[in-house]
């Protein structure tokens, strides 16, 4: 994955979770990379959501972090809250033209049916 990931993108959330677990263990990227046999540069790209790691790499990372593999996928708490989403929608609407706002409202009404 070479393009910048969205904050709610699963690959981005996975990377954030790996970073969170690494920091909880007090490890640097270099240390975790060395323990898991992964380049620290590649690990940095994973943590930034720029790379989609293989199952093999995820298994190595979990083992090196001292967690079960499923623990790496527990990133629901990293997703934006309802209030943050609503706030961002408000900011987005402020930058729109009247026609764009009307279209956005129609889309929301359609979803609400």
More confident residue, 8 or 102: 102
79 pLDDT exceeds 60? yes
pLDDT level of residue 86 (50, 70, 90 thresholds): confident
Give dist(CA 81, CA 4) in Å, integer.
21
Q: Is the pLDDT of residue 6 over 90?
A: no
Residue 2 has pLDDT above 50, yes or no: no
Q: Which two tokens stand for residue 55?
A: 């199952």
The whole domain housing 96 covers: 82-112
> 3-class SS at 5?
coil
- Classify residue 5: in a domain, yes or no: no
Tally of domains within the chain = 2
Residues 34 and 56 in one domain: yes
């Amino acid at each position: 994955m070479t393009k910048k990931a969205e904050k709610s993108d699963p690959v981005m959330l996975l990377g954030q979770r790996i970073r969170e677990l690494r920091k909880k263990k007090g490890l640097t990227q270099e240390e975790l990379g060395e323990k898991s046999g992964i380049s620290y540069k590649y690990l940095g790209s994973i943590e930034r959501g720029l790379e989609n790691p293989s199952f093999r790499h995820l298994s190595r990372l979990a083992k090196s972090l001292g967690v079960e593999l499923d623990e790496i996928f527990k990133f629901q708490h990293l997703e934006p809250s309802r209030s943050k989403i609503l706030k961002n929608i408000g900011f987005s609407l402020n930058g729109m033209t009247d026609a764009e706002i009307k279209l956005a409202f129609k889309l929301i009404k359609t979803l609400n049916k």
